[in-house]
Amino acid sequence: MKAVVHEKTIGFEGLTYRDIEKVQPKAGEVRVKLKAAGLNHRDLFVLNRHQPTDPPLIIGSDGAGIIDAIGEGVSDVQMGTEVVINPGLGWKEKSDAPPEGFEILGLPFHGTFAEYVVIPAENVVPKPGHLTWEEAGVLSLAALTAYRALFTRGRVQPGMKVLIPGIGSGVATFLLQFAKAAGAIVYVTSRSEEKGKRALEMGADQAIDSNTDWNEALGGEKMDLVIECVGAATFNKSLEQLRPGGTIVTFGASAGDVVPLNLRAFFYGQFSLLGSTMGSAEEFREMLQFIKKHNITPIIDAMYPLEQFEQAFKRLENAQQLGKIGFVID
């Protein structure tokens, strides 16, 4: 089968599109003939985490397709079922943090940038009927991350004021859609005027230029909840927009890991700071029910044939996208 494989060299130079052996599912596993897959920032990070001494690795976490082989002992999944893949391995129930041994598809195990993928049967869920293959293929990781950050950790409620800095990423667009569906008032920031306009079209109540004074641009309005997925470049500006007693949930650090924090201002503000990553299988099912109830579809920026992976990676690395970038797999 054809796949995007990382091997021999750290970084983007280690990626090739080539033939690799198609494997059979073992006990408890199924094989999915993939129709589409989604690109995430995680896939960029994997290129540096996967070492030259490691075996060749098919990368990619998101995907959707059709069950075409079933391993021994699998009884609750049928051949020919259209499914979306939950990329979280070993996190079944909602909990404060993932259990020990939790992994994500695409490192250390083969992922979805291929014609086929073999995964545990418990990690496939019937594809929501209102989604196209492309929409289902780019959904999982970003939507699950957004859902846990907003609902499980952030406990969003109707009427809450929510700030989403850096609108543009797949997760950020899901956060906007989910928060509006939950009845929140949503504010976004972006360095791009075009992305700000698009966010308003998607339902944002206000979009501000990331380079301006946020407090002035927001007219002094303070937030109940900030979902911070950018990192050091925006973290303290986000914190300044919280009302006393407000909550900031963070899960991203693409713009820097280390943040100076004024502890006195933090504890006088009675703020809550919560970390979040991915989510459990329970939250994955809740997320799918939520998008079906509210007829939510992913915002797709661009889809590429799998062999054009270089263009897709460069678009993501340069932050040119609004929404999800993905692959159509023939």
Asked whether 235 and 259 are in contact (CB, 8 A), the reply is: yes
Global pTM reads 0.95
d(CA 223, CA 218): 10
Asked whether 272 and 148 are in contact (CB, 8 A), the reply is: no
Sketch out the chain's domains with CATH numbers.
2-139+298-328 (3.90.180.10), 144-275 (3.90.180.10)
- Tens of pLDDT, residue by residue over 209-262, are 999 999 999 999 999 999 998 888 889 999 999 999 999 999 977 667 888 889
Structural element, H or E, at residue 179: helix 170-181
> Dihedral of CA 134/137/140/141: which sign?
negative
Q: Is 22 exposed, middle or buried (0-12, 13-18, 19+ CB in 10 A)?
A: middle
Asked whether 299 and 323 are in contact (CB, 8 A), the reply is: yes
- Tens of pLDDT, residue by residue over 47-105, are 999 999 999 999 999 999 999 999 999 999 999 999 999 999 999 999 999 999 999 99
> Dihedral of CA 92/286/184/41: which sign?
positive
